[in-house]
Chain A
């Protein structure tokens, strides 16, 4: 009845603090370690890597990280769920198994491999069958950009994770499973919640949402009383202690930095929020206006009252397509008249770009230290500002104008306004722009293709 299942967050995104999963496993008892790697455009980056080398296409940090923590994971019986598999979950799972063998854990580690989210190979079949995959924001049909599509993945829910755990997996590796499914899957597996027990599904989803960004709910990026957040050299990543009735406590290991309080959890709850009445996932709909938070001791927040509703017949699809090129160049102008010098440099730069006949979709100038983050709300610039950074970005469908732009920044140092510095980084890089295309697809087109495989080390 009062049995607790502890799910700890180890990574909030691909590139998060590498020590976090190690400290979660070593810092106290946990049952599950959840590691979220995938943001909206991550899949396209991974697809690009896979197209160059068929053995890649997943979060390459993950297998070495697993190699560090597997001995403790096996010793303490911790299970790991992660969407580190990206667009190549099989290669990712194999790399984890190899790591286990190197550690002498042959026969002691089972990896659950979840596939079926990748619909790139089936895209034309779906389009031909009348699934238009219209952009949820603009309403345009995918056929408009079909030839430039780089990756296409449906968001899969928690079900295959719960299944893999039920079949004995110690580590579950997936592709585009929702961030929240990585936490909800273990809870459904442990408590045997029915898939249509909407309130509990919503509770597990909100538990997942609270910890999916790692320390962002335990003191990281916390605005309220930020000076009072201590010990962030060793931030305590969050842990959910869940109960079968759907209530749970958010906490962190003892002797770690940061803070878990109503303010820190509230800030994470409103992060990336849309309509709070309907937080839609493949597993159900969560109502954020039903959440009740209560401080229940130091670094402990109790969450209760969560209500949910039935899942929708559609799944979200994350599509990435090639858009064009961009580059950003910066120069720093010093007092006196720093802002005026930066503005003069911008005028000269724009005139030169025009004289060269270069065409851009957009040229954006920001003055860092004046208006880059808050625009006109920042008010009148300080005429005595010690320095201002000129930051100019350009974007074009073709590479050539962007390439030429990157060669127009350095010359300003000797051919423009005075007191300029900060060019040590050299010529700005030309970046490929891969754009995001969110769409919906009938879940019956996806779910029959989802497969769970159990592999042994």
Chain B
């Protein structure tokens, strides 16, 4: 209970930046910590099962790889592109903006850090 009370949900957009691309019907999202001290938090909280839940109904499977040297995680989102490449009818057939879709995800963050990273205007909402 005490840890829950001391933490707050924060959208990944305040903790990381990201870029995505495609390989066939799989989109990848590279999630890069904005500061080195956020990386362990990403490793701990942005788990395969949470990402799978976040993209429920949009992807069939998720894989995760760690790149501590770039303080980055790489996610493979399988089945994300409606066939991918030229077959897909989607606006984002090549998964270019799956990156920011992942940044919508919220993870629990120590309250003090949350206060520091989330701009006041966004925190009120």
Q: Which A residues, 394 to 445, have Cβ-Cβ distances below 8 Å to chain B?
A: 394-395, 433-436, 438
Produce 1/0 per residue, B79-94, CB < 8 A to A.
0001001110111100
The contact of B67 among A274, A276, A326, A377, by CB within 8 Å, is: A276
CA distance A395 to B83 in the complex (A): 12
List chain A residues, Cβ under 8 A from B20.
Answer: 271
Query: Nearest CB to that of A216 among chain B residues?
Result: B19
Asked whether, in the complex, the Cβ of A223 is within 8 Å of the Cβ of B97, the reply is: no
The answer to whether the Cβ of B2 comes within 8 Å of any Cβ in the partner chain is no
The contact of B24 among A267, A362, A377, A436, by CB within 8 Å, is: A436
Asked whether, in the complex, the Cβ of B69 is within 8 Å of the Cβ of A372, the reply is: no
Determine the main DSSP class of B at the interface with A: mixed
Determine the main DSSP class of A at the interface with B: mixed
Asked whether, in the complex, the Cβ of A393 is within 8 Å of the Cβ of B89, the reply is: yes
List chain A residues, Cβ under 8 A from B100.
Answer: 223, 373-374
The contact of A292 among B69, B76, B91, by CB within 8 Å, is: B69
Q: Which A residues, 264 to 322, have Cβ-Cβ distances below 8 Å to chain B?
A: 266-277, 288-293, 305
Produce 1/0 per residue, A221-259, CB < 8 A to B.
101100000000000000000000000000000000000
Number of A-B residue pairs at CB separation under 8 A: 122
**Minimum Cβ distance to chain B for residue A355 (Å):** 22
CA distance A137 to B85 in the complex (A): 13
The answer to whether the Cβ of B7 comes within 8 Å of any Cβ in the partner chain is no
Produce 1/0 per residue, B51-70, CB < 8 A to A.
00011011000000111111
CA distance A181 to B72 in the complex (A): 26
The answer to whether the Cβ of A323 comes within 8 Å of any Cβ in the partner chain is yes
The answer to whether the Cβ of B8 comes within 8 Å of any Cβ in the partner chain is no
The contact of A433 among B54, B70, B86, by CB within 8 Å, is: B86
The answer to whether the Cβ of A41 comes within 8 Å of any Cβ in the partner chain is yes
Q: Which B residues, 92 to 115, have Cβ-Cβ distances below 8 Å to chain A?
A: 92, 97, 99-101, 104
The answer to whether the Cβ of A54 comes within 8 Å of any Cβ in the partner chain is no
Asked whether, in the complex, the Cβ of A137 is within 8 Å of the Cβ of B72, the reply is: no
CA distance A269 to B100 in the complex (A): 17
Asked whether, in the complex, the Cβ of A271 is within 8 Å of the Cβ of B97, the reply is: no
> Which stretch in B27-35, B41-49, B116-124 binds the other chain?
B27-35
List chain B residues, Cβ under 8 A from A368.
Answer: 91
**Minimum Cβ distance to chain A for residue B4 (Å):** 24
The answer to whether the Cβ of A391 comes within 8 Å of any Cβ in the partner chain is yes
Known: A263-B32, A269-B70, A372-B92. A41 touches B65 (CB 8 A): no
Known: A267-B30, A373-B100, A435-B87. 6 other contacts (CB 8 A): A41-B85, A137-B24, A267-B18, A276-B65, A434-B86, A435-B85
List 5 tightest A-B contacts by C-beta distance, closest first.
A270-B30, A393-B89, A272-B21, A224-B17, A364-B89
Interface of A toward B, CB cutoff 8 Å: 40-41, 136-137, 221, 223-224, 263, 266-277, 288-293, 305, 323, 326, 328, 362, 364, 366, 368, 372-377, 391, 393-395, 433-436, 438
